[in-house]
């Protein structure tokens, strides 16, 4: 019974994180335009799985140093996520 409840809690946490990121990327008050969801993505991954978050930050820093482009670092770091 505990395992089933735990699975439901984890599922609810991932769904809440997904909809929080969706709300930051497509904000209602800006007519669904212009949002940036990277910070929300990073902190939800940090809350749900800190090890993956550290790997994403490492990928971001490496790409930032090699490409010298903040946007490319964010895009590639986000693509390597869960």
Dihedral sign, Cα of residue 51, residue 54, residue 56, residue 58: negative
Residue 80 has pLDDT above 60, yes or no: no
Compute the C-alpha angle 56/49/80, nearest 5°: 30
Per DSSP, the three-state class of 36 is coil
pLDDT digits (tens, 9 = 90+) for 15-61: 998 998 888 888 887 777 766 777 888 888 888 889 988 888 888 78
Q: How far is CA 21 from CA 18, 69, 74, in A?
A: 5, 23, 15
């Amino acid at each position: 019974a505990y395992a089933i409840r735990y699975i439901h809690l984890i599922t609810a946490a991932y769904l809440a994180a997904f909809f929080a990121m969706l709300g930051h990327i497509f904000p209602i008050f800006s007519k669904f335009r212009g949002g940036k969801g990277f910070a929300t993505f990073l902190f939800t991954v940090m809350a749900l799985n800190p090890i993956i978050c550290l790997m994403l930050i490492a990928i971001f820093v490496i790409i930032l140093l090699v490409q010298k482009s903040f946007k490319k670092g964010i895009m590639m770091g986000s693509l390597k996520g869960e």
